[in-house]
Structure 1
Amino acid sequence: MNGIFWALGKENEIPASGVDVTLTNPYEPNNSGFGQKYKLNRKPQSIQ
């Protein structure tokens, strides 16, 4: 994340301890071909 902020020209907004990347929801990626189970009928959700 720090590198993304830097690439966007927002290096002044990077805290000294680094950008906090704590997830607010559990990480449940769609396995797009890896493994046996696919998550069907998923649509993008709005980020608010």
Structure 2
Amino acid sequence: MAMTVEKIKAAVDSLFSDTTCPQEKTKECLEEVIEYIKGCLESLD
């Protein structure tokens, strides 16, 4: 579980440091991260 949290944190960190995600697209990028997190959580069940 802790490993998954670290992976999610890393994904979010890389998202915000990633210049391919311009400011105006932050919401879309966040939605992608949320979907990714949901997938991770579902795979834990």
Which TM-score band (shorter chain)?
under 0.3
Larger helix proportion of the pair: 2
Give the TM-score, by structure 1 length: 0.24
Give the TM-score, by structure 2 length: 0.25
